[in-house]
Structure 1
Amino acid sequence: MRESAAERHDRLLALVRERGTARVSDLADLLGVSPVTARRDVEALAARGLLDRVHGQVSWPRGQGAPAGSGAAGPAGGLVLGLLAPSATYYFAEVIRGAHEAAAKVGARLILRISDYRPDEDRARTEGLLAAGAQGVLVAPGWRGPEDRLAYGDWLAELPVPAVLLERRADPGTPLDGLDRVVSDHGHGVLLALRHLLGLGHGTPVLVARRDSPTALAVRAGYADALAALGLTAPLPVIDSVSAEADPEGFERAVGALREAVGSGLATAALVHNDVDAIQMVQRLAESGLRVPRDLAVIAYDDEVAALADIPLTAVAPPKRQVGRHAAELLVERLTEGHTSPEEEAARRHLSLLPRLRVRASCGAQSH
């Protein structure tokens, strides 16, 4: 089986830990790869703070001390925290940034692994973090739906180090439910959006959403809960959206369904998950003569790029950076609480942070 880049990075880190310092050309020979590949790997690891690089050589970061797995402390006597995320871009970039800032504030070092939404590889990636010296981990599994959580979740509760779940929930009564976790309350975010649109005089907004991520599923569940809380009935079933890049025909069907809902008078307002889909849908609707906000008020969910649309989109903004920050702070607390018996250990925590609504031009309301 072909070696993955992550596996090669693990071998490279192990070689540098053993030697302290190594030439990039020597690492290429030892790894059995080209000098170009070794140089690219070194640059990637150095950019993440896992190696120091000077004049064709790399060395184990100063202050990290003994090799991984020895229990040694990280920079300035601090801790080494691991973070597994499904992506380092879009939504999770801010989560990672918040965790990094919190770790740096207390002198801890954060090391990162990316799963690319492949939940079957989450365990190996997390074990790689432990091999690289992580004394505790922040984990956002690459689950896309409940079936992934059931198939690839139990191992998390068996980790030999403290772990905090990021932006993921567990089924009540399962071992995972006993872990610390920090999440955005997406149900609250959906309720904010619906109340805003109703307050502008619209009828019940329609939901356009994907099914391909825990956030998408939480938005769908939050929509049903919000309708019940407000005593409303959906004007039509949720419009299933998909990535325009991955499934152009499926995306066009979603655009067509929204266009028909507006044309028939069933919808004058919509909540769309996510930002990218919302921007592209607004563009496609405009091509057929439907204008935002004149014909349709739109709120996007995520607020990653919503403000950059031709017509800046009002958006629900989950507190992504704060999720990362609070999770890292909680993990540091676990690692430093110094209890001497299970009775003294602090209670596990499930922390839900509330999204905000950022009002822009796409609802026809004045920004504030």
Structure 2
Amino acid sequence: MRLHVDQRHERVLELVRERGSLRVAELAEELGMSAVTLRRDVEALAAQGLVERLHGAVVWPTGQSRPAPAAAAAPAEGLVVGMVVPTTEYYYADVVRGARETVEAAGARLTIGLSRYLPDEDAAQARRLLSTGADGLLLTPSWEHGRPEPGEGLWTAEQGTPVVLVERWAPLGHPAASLDRVRSDHAHGAAEAVAHLARLGHRGIALAVQDSPTAPRLRAGYRAAVEALGLDPVPDSPGGGDPARSEADRFGRTLEYLCQGVASGTVTAAIVHSDADAIVLIPRLQARGVRVPEDLAVITYDDEVAGLADLPLTAVSPDKYAVGAAAARLLLSRLGVRGRGAADPRDGGRSSRRHLDILPALRIRVSCGADHPSR
């Protein structure tokens, strides 16, 4: 049976905790995983400080005790976790599922509040959940750029109960910056896409993003990678900006931007956010004589429907389930829940605050022109 990434992580931690250290090859064989998959899992766990990597081995962190894996879990019966998200559709469906399954595995219950991106609805939903018995909150406020504007979001740090921000962050100095946080590292995902295209020989790489809370981090990662790799600078996409413009106008401007870049020879590859945008744009590019991937290699961001396109799309894939699961484990640990479902059975909620960034994966398919697309 194929294990989900969260289940794999749990099993890796269980074995390393029990034995102290294992060679990567031995651990991969025992778990029935490829060495590549295991190394990716170990990197994610090491980034969270849950294991250490040492000369091809996976080691339990120095100075940490190794409790027996069968230790009894503290009961969470009757515990209620409240979760406020903009929507349970599209991106957040898997985030909510990861949180729900983790909470339920611990014997607790998840309740949901939806803001639908309405002004002040986040705080109203949080108050409602607390008034109906929520013991802690997982919050995804409707902050336009994924972070609060000055003076915005102060209420998130004023709750009298544990709070974990999910797919959101607050700048240093903002009261919410001291809250626990779990998010996808979208900047890393964009940088990985740039690096992959550069390895394929591309030097003029465009970024076409729609306005969303994800966009600022995508731009930051893209620009950092272009600079670090010494790639040719490409003018910014006109796709975002004025919200009064129609979707048809946004697509039209993005289409012209990419066609002109290809015609001038300054653009040979593009990163497009999101999959849905790419699925609309690629047939229009082809109708204008731009071949994908021969004239324009394309990588999309999100991987919601990228594999279902006529031309399967290479995509950066944030692990939304893992984000929801990690946030739930972290909140459960703050509430004193130990064992299965808790963030770390070693701390029982006593550790310092945590900011966890979950790295997205790159799914190679046809649209980037790679020689060995994955299935």
Q: Report the TM-score when normalising by structure 2.
A: 0.73
Q: Which amino acid aligns with 1:94?
A: D
1:195-221 C-alpha deviation (Å, 9 max, x unpaired): 11111111231111122x221111011
Q: Compare relative contact order (CA 8 Å, sep 6+) and give the higher one, 1 or 2.
A: 2
What CA distance in whole angstroms lies between the structure 2 residues aligned with 1:132 and 1:367? 49
Q: Which amino acid aligns with 1:356?
A: A
Partner of 1:260: 260
Partner of 1:284: 284
- How many matched pairs? 288
Corresponding residue SS for 2:214: helix
Corresponding residue SS for 1:84: strand
> Quick one: structure 1 residues 111 and 347, their matched pair in 2 at CA, closer, same or farther if it must change by over 3 Å?
same
What CA distance in whole angstroms lies between the structure 1 residues aligned with 2:358 and 2:270? 24
Corresponding residue SS for 1:188: helix
Q: Which amino acid aligns with 1:125?
A: Q
Partner of 2:125: 125
Corresponding residue SS for 2:193: helix
Q: Which amino acid aligns with 1:367?
A: P
Q: CA deviation at 1:245?
A: 10
Partner of 1:222: 221
Partner of 1:46: none
Greater than 6 Å deviation, 4+ residue runs:
242-245
Partner of 2:7: none
Q: CA deviation at 1:240?
A: 2.4
Corresponding residue SS for 1:236: coil
Q: CA deviation at 1:235?
A: 2.3
Partner of 1:367: 373
* Structure 2, unpaired ranges of 5+: 1-74, 339-348
What CA distance in whole angstroms lies between the structure 1 residues aligned with 2:359 and 2:76? 35
1:5-27 C-alpha deviation (Å, 9 max, x unpaired): xxxxxxxxxxxxxxxxxxxxxxx
Q: CA deviation at 1:244?
A: 12
Q: Which amino acid aligns with 1:290?
A: V
What CA distance in whole angstroms lies between the structure 2 residues aligned with 1:196 and 1:129? 44
> Quick one: structure 1 residues 322 and 146, their matched pair in 2 at CA, closer, same or farther if it must change by over 3 Å?
closer
Q: How does 1:202-221 map to 2 (within 5 A)?
A: 202-211=202-211, 213-221=212-220
Q: CA deviation at 1:123?
A: 0.4
* Structure 1, unpaired ranges of 5+: 1-74, 339-343
What CA distance in whole angstroms lies between the structure 1 residues aligned with 2:147 and 2:317? 27
Q: Report the TM-score when normalising by structure 1.
A: 0.74
Q: Which amino acid aligns with 2:231?
A: L
Give the aligned CA root-mean-square deviation in angstroms: 2.2
Give aligned-pair identity as a percent: 48
What CA distance in whole angstroms lies between the structure 2 residues aligned with 1:151 and 1:79? 32
Q: Which amino acid aligns with 1:273?
A: H
Q: CA deviation at 1:294?
A: 1.8
Partner of 2:57: none
Higher mean Cα deviation, 185-194 or 225-234?
A: 225-234
Q: CA deviation at 1:248?
A: 1.1
What CA distance in whole angstroms lies between the structure 1 residues aligned with 2:256 and 2:267? 13
Q: How does 1:282-361 map to 2 (within 5 A)?
A: 282-336=282-336, 345-361=350-366
